[in-house]
């Protein structure tokens, strides 16, 4: 069986009934990547040697304990290039980290490896995960498998495109303002951002530390839940990692939505939403109603200032996090006899324009004269945004909305920064409040995929999966294959 | 200068105009009434997370320096910090 058409659950069965092996699956995956990557440029590099070692180890585990081996055992995965893997070049799609080879593996990735997953490569993304179209990568843009002239979304564009192109059944990305959910929506796959604190950020190259979370892309909600439960859980190496036990999202996955109260935030249907997207999402709401959920109009009035809040807090944190790229300990150094000039030249030549904009915006917002007016103000509005969610969740079990106001747009279409920032207008409030959210395919607009976003209270990650799974199983959208996946199959 | 970016003249002009537009856009934040609101630095409930003060395995100099653009086996090596060091 080819991984092209498959889910983790189907592949796990084939690895146990002897119809496939980790080595076979790996060979098919790498051949598939060879066929698609010239069109998508989803991979910055493949990791054949590491993958072969992991596939052989997985084969031994499956032979010894076929029943007790974890579901991820022998399953090919792709990793966004902001995730550190010991001995594998990791660049965050930035020139400033060209040639950087981490001396350690991050926790989320290590948990996947411990479960027997096979790492096939590192995926392209916006530089330091800053962007919504993958056009900010220093190593070239990514083509959307539904139309390679269009963007896959971002910043985890390569991971989303790889799953949509049928290369791998799942991939990891990171989500700071929508960077998993928005590309999942634009590429027609499932993308999940966990509750802040559920997945360790140790070994994730930091963008905005109070917002970043690692999460999965997959072809089904169940698969996303399998990957999530593999990587979630407390890690003493991340001081923001929550010590509470993680409930198994698979236990109540099939409980359905009958009797559930679902909130529809009216502000999420404004914000420049495309009519085709609105139509698809409204149809999805009727499906959920048909499954026994009740819909309730709710209001999150601070949504309008969410974007402004985010574009102070995220750049402020980024300007601090990116201060470490100074040509001293790792990555690029542009030589100059004076240290200060070495810093200036290294950072000027190492960073791309969007990273520079955000570093400048962040240092400005944090500078003594403007701290109160920008950073402190944004932190207060963040409280208002989080409180609005809390109030709404007193009345409804989950929220449903579009993931992105538009479907995939043509490359080069959004050359002014603010129009690009608008891509994340209904995903970034979820990060500001630290909530779990998912995007699940819910139809097409002009032949391009549309995603339905489901949001739940903090630590109710299982509820997100349950609502999304109920919707997915009642529709056929998740079975649709991109033209590129069909052609390469 | 705070950002430590050595921009050229063209970049200064381009970024200047873009940042002005962005700041103009985000200034709508000033209209929000936050008089009774406290600021939020993080979403979690965790405070002052500590670990036991015991020694743990660490990378060691060789691996820690393995990505350094310049090192002498035990240290990172950088250029002159003070201007007068430049002549020496």
In B35-64, the residues whose Cβ lies within 8 Å of chain A are 37-44, 46, 49, 51, 59, 63-64
> What does the mean pLDDT of chain A come to?
96
CB A76 within 8 A of CB A55: no
- Which residue of A lies nearest to B52 if distances are taken between CA atoms? A236
Nearest residue on chain B to A302, judged by CA atoms? Answer: B32
Establish if B34 touches chain A: CB-CB under 8 angstroms: yes
Domain residue extents for chain A: 3-261+438-449+460-488
A246-255 pLDDT, tens digit per residue, is 999 999 999 9
For A383, which of B8, B28, B40 is closest by C-beta distance? Answer: B40
Which residues in chain B touch residue A348, judged by CB atoms under 8 angstroms apart? 5-8, 11
Give how far A177 is from chain B: nearest CA, Å. Answer: 14
A:B CB pairs within 8 Å: 168
Q: Across residues B58-77, what is the average pLDDT?
A: 93
Smallest CA–CA separation between A382 and chain B, in Å? 6
State residue A3's pLDDT score. 56
Query: In A, which residues are within 8 Å of B70 by CB distance?
Result: 333
What is the pLDDT of chain B when averaged over all its residues? 89
B27 contacts on A by Cβ (under 8 Å) = 308
Over residues B36-55, the pLDDT tens digits come to 999 998 898 888 899 899 99
Partners of residue B79 in chain A, C-beta under 8 Å: 335-339, 342
Chain B contact set for A105 (CB, 8 A): none
Which of B11, B31, B63, B67 is the mutation pick for testing A, counting most A CBs within 10 A?
A: B67
pLDDT of residue A488: 84
Mean pLDDT of A97-119: 97
pLDDT digits (tens, 9 = 90+) for A189-248: 999 999 999 999 999 999 999 999 999 999 999 999 999 999 999 999 999 999 999 999
The shortest C-alpha distance from B52 to chain A (Å) reads 11
Residue partners of A98: CB distance under 8 A and separation at least 6 = A91, A331, A332
Of residues B85, B71, B1, the one with CA closest to residue A338: B85
pLDDT of residue A1: 42
- Give the C-alpha separation, A384 to A125, whole Å: 31
Q: What average pLDDT score do residues A423-449 get?
A: 97
CATH fold of A3-261+438-449+460-488 reads Amidase signature (AS) enzymes (3.90.1300)
Residue A298 has phi, psi (to 5 degrees) of -130, 165
CA B26 to CA A384: how far, in whole Å?
16
| Model confidence pLDDT, tens digit, residues A71-97 | 999 999 999 999 999 999 999 999 999
**Could you give the CA distance from residue A397 to residue A260 in angstroms, rounded to a whole number?**
6
Active site residues of A: 80, 155, 179
Does residue A2 surpass a pLDDT of 60? no
Nearest Cα residue to A155 out of A171, A135, A185: A135
For residues A116-131, average pLDDT = 98
The encoded tokens of residue A167 equal 């290369």
């Amino acid at each position: 069986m080819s991984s092209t058409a498959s889910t983790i659950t189907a592949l796990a069965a084939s690895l146990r009934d002897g119809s496939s092996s980790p080595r076979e699956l790996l060979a098919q995956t790498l051949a598939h990547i060879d066929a698609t990557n010239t069109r998508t440029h989803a991979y910055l590099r493949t990791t054949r040697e590491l993958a072969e070692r992991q596939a052989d180890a997985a084969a031994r585990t499956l032979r010894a304990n076929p029943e007790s081996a974890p579901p991820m055992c022998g399953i090919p995965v792709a990793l966004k290039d902001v995730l550190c893997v010991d001995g594998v070049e990791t660049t965050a799609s930035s020139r400033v980290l060209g040639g950087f080879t981490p001396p350690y593996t991050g926790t989320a990735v290590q948990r996947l490896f411990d479960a027997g997953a096979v790492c096939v490569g590192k995926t392209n993304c916006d530089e330091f995960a800053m962007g919504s179209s993958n056009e900010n990568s220093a190593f070239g843009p990514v083509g959307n498998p539904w139309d390679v002239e269009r963007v896959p979304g971002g910043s985890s564009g390569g991971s989303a495109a790889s799953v949509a192109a049928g290369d791998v059944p799942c991939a990891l990305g990171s989500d700071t303002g929508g960077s998993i959910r928005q590309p999942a929506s634009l590429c027609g796959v499932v993308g999940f951002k966990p509750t802040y604190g559920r997945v360790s950020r140790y070994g994730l190259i930091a963008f905005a530390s109070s917002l970043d979370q690692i999460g999965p892309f997959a072809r089904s909600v169940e698969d996303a839940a399998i990957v999530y439960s593999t990587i979630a859980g407390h890690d003493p190496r991340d001081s923001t990692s929550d010590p509470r036990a993680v409930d198994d999202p698979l236990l109540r996955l099939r409980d359905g939505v009958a009797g559930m109260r679902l909130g529809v935030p009216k502000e999420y249907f404004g914000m420049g939403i495309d009519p085709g997207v609105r139509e698809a999402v409204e149809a999805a709401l009727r499906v959920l109603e048909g499954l026994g959920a009740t819909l309730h109009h709710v209001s999150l009035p601070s949504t309008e200032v969410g974007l402004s809040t985010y574009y102070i807090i995220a750049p402020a944190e980024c300007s601090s996090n990116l201060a470490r790229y100074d040509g001293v300990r790792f990555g690029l150094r542009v030589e100059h006899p004076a240290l200060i000039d070495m810093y200036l030249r290294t950072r000027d030549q190492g960073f791309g324009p969007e990273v520079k904009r955000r570093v400048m915006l962040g240092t400005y917002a944090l500078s003594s004269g403007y701290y109160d007016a920008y950073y402190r103000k944004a932190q207060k509005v963040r409280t208002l945004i989080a409180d609005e969610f809390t109030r709404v969740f007193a009345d409804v079990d989950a929220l449903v909305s579009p993931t992105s106001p538009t479907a995939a747009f043509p490359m080069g279409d959004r050359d002014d920064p603010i129009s690009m920032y608008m891509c994340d207008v209904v995903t970034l409030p979820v990060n500001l409040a630290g909530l779990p959210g998912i995007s699940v395919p819910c139809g097409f607009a002009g032949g391009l995929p549309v995603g339905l976003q489901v949001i739940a209270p903090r630590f109710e990650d299982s509820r997100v999966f349950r609502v999304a799974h109920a919707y997915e199983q009642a529709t056929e959208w998740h079975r649709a294959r991109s033209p590129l996946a069909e052609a390469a199959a | 200068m705070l950002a430590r970016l050595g921009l050229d003249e063209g970049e200064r002009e381009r970024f200047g105009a873009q940042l002005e537009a962005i700041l103009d856009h985000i200034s709508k934040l000033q209209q929000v009434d936050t008089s009774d609101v406290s600021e939020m630095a993080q979403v979690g409930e965790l405070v002052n997370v500590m670990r036991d003060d015991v020694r743990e395995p660490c990378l060691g100099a060789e691996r820690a320096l393995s990505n350094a653009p310049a090192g002498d086996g035990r240290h990172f090596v950088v250029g002159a910090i003070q201007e007068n060091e430049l002549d020496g």
